[in-house]
Amino acid sequence: NFRGVESVNDNAGIGAIPVKAFFNNPAMLNLIDSALLRNFDIQIALKNIDAAELMLKRAKLGNIPQLNLQVTANSNRPSDNSLNGLSTSQFLGTKHLEDFNANLALSWEADIWGKIAKQKDAAYAGYLQSEEVKKAVQTRVVSQVASRFYRLLMLDAQLKVANSNVELNNNTLKMIKMQFDAGQVTSLAIQQAEAQQLKATQLIPQIKQEISIQENALSFLSGKFPSAIERATTLEQITISDQLATGVPSTMLSIRPDVKSSELDLRIANAKVGITNAQLYPSLIISASGGLNSFKASNWFNVPASLFGVVGGGITQPIFNRKELKIQFELAKVEREQSVLLFRQTVVAAVAEVSDEQSKIINLKTEYAIAQNRVATLQL
């Protein structure tokens, strides 16, 4: 439910408008492009995507059998008084027992309980979540750049007004001094005018300091060292269409990166429950190996006499560590419940934020119309 917001049959809301279509100031767009390319938070988010992609690739290899090549050569001299030593000496006519082996070993775990499939699902959800986090970071950075740029233009306008006030106070002070010389006013009038002139002058360094702070913040957002920011425009020249549609509130909610990220976090938690649950059950591993084996190097590659092969299967059931695995399963369920609550919290917070912003839009339009009427009245 969106408080105080009427349903609008318009799916193409503000959230669907590209940045370059919403903002039309070249200087601001250059700052936004620089921030999207060089901002440190965005670069970190991109690296997180790379890491999540690698984890997804690793998870996809879970169903692929492991195949290893092994080549060994051993020489063993048993004791003359040992059974192996006596047997080697009597039957082989040598005191050394040699073994040459080259084989391929294959091992494959059957995904009976869906553990590997859940691992893939968790990795895929993690990858999608990293994408949504990147979108959220990009949205925040663009918003911060635009907000600080507008703040900078507002400070420029304030500085212009402050300079005009200083000039006006200087002229007023000169006029009062002339009146004092003519005996029309007392020295108190001069003191009051000087105090007013100093007060107006005091605002200028304060505004300049705030301008410097905003420029440094914009430079940091753009991934650059502190420097002056090009404006090439004034606050009066900035225009934003007042015909922008807010769109359907539920649609705005569904495309928010924070909501999507929280939903994917719940998906990951649910997959972990499945993984820890599967670990409680037996695992079936099928293995096979084959190759060439000989106790003489000269016969090592004598085919088919040196060929051998082994096929087997095994079932592993956790016994002594079952209690630990059970605790992991219960912990995963608790974490899933936490993810459910966090998802609900994110949705409720997003609904409140969307309602707040749409209420602001409605009230600001009313406030702007009243201000226009006030200006028109004062100009009569």
Closest CA to 247 of 159, 84, 358: 358
User: In this predicted structure, what is the pLDDT of residue 208?
Assistant: 94
pTM of the model: 0.79
User: In this predicted structure, what is the pLDDT of residue 57?
Assistant: 93
Phi, psi of 65 (to 5 degrees): -60, 150
* In this structure, CATH architecture of domain 18-243+283-316: Up-down Bundle (1.20)
Q: For the chain, first and last CA: distance in Å?
A: 45
pLDDT averaged over consecutive 10-residue blocks of the chain (380 residues)?
52 68 86 93 95 93 90 81 66 73 92 91 95 93 94 93 92 88 85 89 93 95 91 77 64 85 95 94 92 86 89 89 93 96 94 84 85 83
Closest CA to 154 of 200, 211, 199, 206: 211
User: In this predicted structure, what is the pLDDT of residue 249?
Assistant: 67
User: In this predicted structure, what is the pLDDT of residue 339?
Assistant: 96
Long-range contacts at 206-213 (CB < 8 A, ≥ 24 apart): 207/155, 207/158, 207/159, 207/162, 208/159, 210/155, 211/152, 211/155, 211/156, 211/159
Distance, CA of 165 to CA of 137 (rounded, Å) = 41
User: In this predicted structure, what is the pLDDT of residue 46?
Assistant: 94
The residue whose two tokens read 């459910």 is: 340
User: In this predicted structure, what is the pLDDT of residue 289?
Assistant: 94
Q: What is the 3-state secondary structure (H, E, C) of 83-119?
A: HHHHHHHHHHCCCCEEEEEEEEEEEEEECCCCHHHHH
User: In this predicted structure, what is the pLDDT of residue 297?
Assistant: 83
Give me the torsion for CA of 253, 256, 258, 261, rounded to 10°.
100
User: In this predicted structure, what is the pLDDT of residue 242?
Assistant: 62
User: In this predicted structure, what is the pLDDT of residue 92?
Assistant: 64
Q: Count CA atoms within 13 Å of residue 227 on its CB side.
A: 10
